[in-house]
Structure 1
C-alpha cells in the first residue's frame, strides 16, 4: 500500500499563492474563510454541497442498543448527529482512473 499523504491548510494556501497570485497572507486568509464558512454551515445544521467535489451531509441517528464486544453486555448508544461525505461522480471517476 502506498504512503498516505495529507493535504494541509498551508499547502492549500501555498497553492492559491502560486496559481492565483494572491499574497501568502491573503491566500491563508482565504483558506481560513472558506473553512470557517463550511464549518459554520455544518454547525448550523445545513448540508454543504461543493459541485464537482461532493456533499457533506448531516444525519441524525436515533438511540439504539449496542453491545460491548469484549463482555457481550448491552449498552444504550445515545442519539447523535453524524457527518458523512459523499463524493461527486466526477471525483469518484477521477479517483478510479488514477489507479
Structure 2
C-alpha cells in the first residue's frame, strides 16, 4: 500500500478529505517519532506499541580481515504488534 492509497483509505473510513487525512497522518508520525526518540512508549490499541530499544556495546568481527572490532551501544526503534493486529494478519 502506498501513502496515496493509505490516505484514500483513511479519508474514506473517517469521512474526511484526503488533505485532512494527510495532515492527520503527518501529525501521527511526528508525535510517535518524537515520543519514541525521548524514550517514551507509544501504545495504539489494536495496532501495537512503539518503543525505544537499547542495544549494548559488543565485540564484532570485520568479515574481510577477521579483525575484532568494538561496536558501540546504540538505540533503535522497536514495534510490538497488538494481539488483535497479529490475529487479523494471521487470518483468525
Relative to the length of structure 1, the TM-score reads 0.80
Residue 81 (1) aligns with residue 79 (2): no
- Structure 1 stretches of at least 4 aligned residues deviating more than 6 Å after TM superposition: none
- C-alpha distance in structure 2 between counterparts of 1:96 and 1:25, whole Å: 32
Q: How much has 1:67 moved relative to structure 2? A: 0.9
Of residues 25, 37, 50, the one that matches 2:44 is 50
- Higher deviation after alignment, 29-38 or 16-25: 16-25
Task: State how far apart, in whole Å, the 1-side matches of 2:58 and 2:32 are.
Answer: 30
Question: What is the root-mean-square deviation in Å for CA atoms of aligned residues?
Answer: 1.7
Q: C-alpha offsets along residues 44-91 of structure 1, whole Å, 9 cap, x if unaligned?
A: 211211111111121112211111223211110011001121111111
**2:31 is the alignment partner of 1:37:** yes
| Superposition map of 1:1-99 within 5 A | 7-97=1-91
- Cα shift at 1:37: 0.9
How much does 1:11 deviate?
A: 2.2
